[in-house]
Structure 1
Amino acid sequence: MQVSVETTSPIERRVTVQIPADEVDQAVSERLKDTAQRVRLNGFRQGRVPMAVVKQRYGRDVRNEVVGEMMRQHYVRAITEQSLNPAGYPSIEPTVDETGKDLEFIATLEVYPEIALNGIEGAEVERPVAEVTDADIDQMIETLRKQNASWEAVDREAAEGDQVKIDFQGFIGDEPFEGGEAEGHELVLGSDSFIPGFEDQLVGTKAGDETEIRVTFPEDYQAEHLAGQEATFKVKVHQVSEQQLPEVDAAFVERFGVENGDLEQFRAEVRKNMEREIKQAVDNRVKQQVLEALQRANDIPVPASLIEQETDALKRQAAQQFGLGDDFDVSQLPNELFADQAKSRVQVGLLLGKVIEDHELDASDDEIKTKVEELAQQYQQPEQVVEYYLKDEQMKNQVKSAVLEEKAVDKLLGQAQVKDVEMSYEQALQAAQQQGGAEDEDGEEPADDKA
């Protein structure tokens, strides 16, 4: 076998392979003999079909089959001998395929980029410094009350914060438009869940009222045929309800896993959850800045095959998040919605892999267990979560990857200029969200959340 490799781009290789004619012809001859023993043809007993007839009837198909197998086998041998690291499947095309001549084929493949890693020295990283105050805990408890509120019908005009039950139908001019009507819809005034201006015009209405509301759809409205259009909605109000917040008592506290109903223990649990949340938010904001600096310093090419794989993964993730079901065909989702994010994620993954390799980072079993125990604290039965993770090799490997990523980010952070910035709890959370937030790095988790 003769092999030559041409570098056609930093991540593409063109591999030409020649296989001696006698090797190919012998393999074809052996396959034809085997075929002759198995085929059944009218007028011949099995195993007695003349070779000339077998060649005439099956020769081309047999050769195509053998050539295909040999190209795949010799491709693997060639990339192994040439120490190539393919990123995906190759495109293989025969260029010479004739009896008595050396078989020649060309394999075009993408390889993982060779990375000479640049550091992030001089990069500025802003690290929020925030504490959870008693006022923050009070606000969180108030949020929990609102999330567990009930609604009680009242005989008065609707005010902001009330819930109204309405029927409505929308018109552009005199024509109703698709998707513009509903019956018995429950709408909280001030929730900004409808077109701007719609909820404001229901303030002051009461049960039994019928009214018309005029609004203009935003220019960037998702339904293009409605964007920028003026619309009229005919609305009938059936009921006005006001929010009834639960008392913060033992019964309320027990809903959140504090079985003895102790208010101080409940506040301590809320604080612990908020402190964990703020730590994650700060870590994620720092991490995103470090990774962005790493990408700016190392604009490496990314194999298209890896981008395609990551795009498919993002599509499946999106389908799951939107509850589209396991049988949903993710190919219906356009690639362009995910391509940029997929490329960025692959690039970051390759760069972090190089950081881990260069610094010879590893994660011990104890470090993995510690990380799992940290993750498990947000569940009501953490010991079961720890057991779940550590018994599942795939989940354990995902946690190991998260630990290695944290170590790599810490190594890079040591090269940056870190500036601590005092923030409130809410400001720190908002800063992390504006930065892009945290991507779930720990894989699938059992559902058993605390509040």
Structure 2
Amino acid sequence: MQVTVESGEGLERRMRIELPFERIQGEVDKRLQGIARSARLPGFRPGKAPTKVLRQRYGNQIEIEVFGELVQSSFAEAVESHALRLAGAPSIQPEIDQAARSFGFTATFEVLPQVELASLAGQVVKRPVAQLTDEDLGLMIERLREQRKTWVEAQRPGQAGDRLTISYTGTLDGEPFDGGSASGTTVELGTGRMIPGFEDGLVGAGAGETRTLDLRFPEGYQRADLAGRPVRFEVTIDAVSEPLLPEVDEAFARSFGVADGDVERFRADVRANMARELKQRIHGRMKEQVMDLILKCNTVDTPRVLVANEINGLKQQMRANLGGAQFELPDSLFEESAQRRVGLGLIIAEIVKQNGIKADPQSIRAAVEDMASTYEDPQEVINYYYADRKNLGPVESLVLEEQVVNWALSQVTVEEEQLSFAQLTDPASAANPAGL
């Protein structure tokens, strides 16, 4: 078997393998002999068909099978002998010339890069330090009240925070345009969900009033045919509603899962969830800094095949998050994130290898129990993970990442950074900021 390996662009390699004709024919003859002992062909007694006839009938099929098997075995052997680390499956191009008794193939593939780890000495990571205050708790409970607010009709002009029911018609250069009209729609003043000036232009308007708004679509508006263009809206106010926030009472506490409605227990639960979120955010901030630092200090070539696989994974994840919707998304939308993930994965793998970092059973168990603690039946979750070894794979990866973070923090200078709960969290952006 003759093997040659050439370097292509970047991490690409081309391997040419010539297979001995005698080896292929020898295996073909061996299999024909096996078939001959039991073959049943018209005009011949069982097991008495001549080899020439068998070769005419089965030779080509067997030759293809033998060639395919030798491609796999010879490629694996060549990869091992040349100490190549493949990044993905090869592309195989057969090269067969039976007249010249030549059997071979070319395998094109990418290899994993050599990662040279840089020292993290002298680098700085900021450790957030924050205290959970009574004021933070009060603000959180106000946000929870906002989540449960109701609307009542107001017999007065609209103001910031009110919800208006409106009908409107938009025109460009005096002509209506597609999507520019609606009736019976609601607008909450002060949320900024409409184009600039629309909500502000309705402050002080009462039910039954009509206002003319001369505005301009933003330059970066999602519809290119409207971006940057002047528009006029004729808006009629159908109704004005003001928000009604619930009292923090037993009914309110029960709505968040406090069975007996005890308000103090509700406050304690909210504080406990805020404390847990604060801890997670501090840890997340530290981990993010470490990962950024590792990527900044270490350069690595990323195999195209791994980036492509990561892009496909990110696409599937987005579709799943959107309820399984099927639509095509451009690769460019995920390119940067995929490059980062693949690069970090390669660097972290080298850190793990060079420092002998392992995901020990005790750490894995602790991680599983920590995740299970947030469920109603923690033991059921623990049993799920340990029912099948494959279920623990993602947990092991997470534990390894945490250990890499700890290793990195031992190499750098850690400085404390005083922050508030609000600076570390953005609960207003979450559907349930208190975790209840």
Q: TM-score, normalised by structure 1?
A: 0.85
3-state SS, counterpart of residue 425 of structure 2? helix
Structure 2's unaligned 5+ residue stretches are none
Moved more, 370-379 or 131-140: 370-379
What is aligned with 1:346? Answer: 342
What is aligned with 2:190? Answer: 190
Instruction: Answer yes or no: is the 8 Å Cα contact 2:39–2:49 preserved in 1.
Output: no
How many Å separate the matches in 2 of 1:234 and 1:57? 83
What is aligned with 1:243? Answer: 243
How many Å separate the matches in 2 of 1:230 and 1:419? 51
3-state SS, counterpart of residue 86 of structure 1? coil
What is aligned with 1:440? Answer: none
How many Å separate the matches in 1 of 2:232 and 2:207? 20
- RMSD of Structure 2 on Structure 1 (CA): 3.2
How many Å separate the matches in 1 of 2:230 and 2:183? 22
Q: Cα distance, 1:45 vs. partner? A: 12
How many Å separate the matches in 1 of 2:163 and 2:391? 44
Instruction: Answer yes or no: is the 8 Å Cα contact 1:22–1:100 preserved in 2.
Output: no
Moved more, 364-373 or 28-37: 28-37
Cα distance per residue 1:157-212 (max 9 Å; x no partner): 11110111223333222333333333322221111111111111111222233333
Instruction: Answer yes or no: is the 8 Å Cα contact 2:281–2:424 preserved in 1.
Output: yes
What is aligned with 1:78? Answer: 78
| Letter of the 1:242 counterpart | E
Identity %: 38
Q: Cα distance, 1:261 vs. partner? A: 1.9
3-state SS, counterpart of residue 338 of structure 1? helix
3-state SS, counterpart of residue 167 of structure 2? strand
* 1:283-298 aligned within 5 A: 283-298=283-298
| Letter of the 1:277 counterpart | E
* 1:25-104 aligned within 5 A: 25-27=25-27, 63=63, 66-99=66-99, 101-104=101-104
Q: Cα distance, 1:362 vs. partner? A: 2.1
What is aligned with 2:371? Answer: 375
Instruction: Answer yes or no: is the 8 Å Cα contact 1:257–1:450 preserved in 2.
Output: no
Q: Cα distance, 1:148 vs. partner? A: 0.9
Q: Cα distance, 1:256 vs. partner? A: 1.8
Q: Does 1:152 align with 2:148?
A: no
| Letter of the 1:304 counterpart | R
Q: Cα distance, 1:65 vs. partner? A: 5.6
| Letter of the 1:398 counterpart | P
Cα distance per residue 1:310-348 (max 9 Å; x no partner): 0011111112223343xx15xx11001101110110111
| Letter of the 2:342 counterpart | V
| Letter of the 2:259 counterpart | E
* 1:163-182 aligned within 5 A: 163-182=163-182
Q: Cα distance, 1:53 vs. partner? A: 8.5
How many Å separate the matches in 2 of 1:166 and 1:56? 83
| Letter of the 1:23 counterpart | R
* 1:185-224 aligned within 5 A: 185-224=185-224
| Letter of the 2:116 counterpart | A
Instruction: Answer yes or no: is the 8 Å Cα contact 1:206–1:239 preserved in 2.
Output: yes
What is aligned with 2:262? Answer: 262
Moved more, 270-279 or 257-266: 257-266
Q: Cα distance, 1:367 vs. partner? A: 1.9
Q: TM-score, normalised by structure 2?
A: 0.87
What is aligned with 1:303? Answer: 303
| Letter of the 2:371 counterpart | L
Moved more, 70-79 or 410-419: 70-79
Cα distance per residue 1:198-228 (max 9 Å; x no partner): 1111112222333332221111112222111
Moved more, 137-146 or 147-156: 147-156
Instruction: Answer yes or no: is the 8 Å Cα contact 1:128–1:420 preserved in 2.
Output: yes
Instruction: Answer yes or no: is the 8 Å Cα contact 1:217–1:230 preserved in 2.
Output: yes
Structure 1 residues 83 and 294: alpha-carbon distance in aligned structure 2, compared to 1, 3 A threshold = same
How many Å separate the matches in 2 of 1:50 and 1:197? 92
Q: Does 1:407 align with 2:417?
A: no
Cα distance per residue 1:97-116 (max 9 Å; x no partner): 33453422221211222223
Structure 1 residues 394 and 253: alpha-carbon distance in aligned structure 2, compared to 1, 3 A threshold = farther
What is aligned with 1:426? Answer: 422
Structure 1's unaligned 5+ residue stretches are 434-446
How many Å separate the matches in 2 of 1:223 and 1:54? 69
Cα distance per residue 1:254-294 (max 9 Å; x no partner): 22222222222222211121112122212222212211211
Moved more, 115-124 or 416-425: 115-124
Instruction: Answer yes or no: is the 8 Å Cα contact 1:88–1:306 preserved in 2.
Output: yes
Structure 1 residues 219 and 35: alpha-carbon distance in aligned structure 2, compared to 1, 3 A threshold = farther
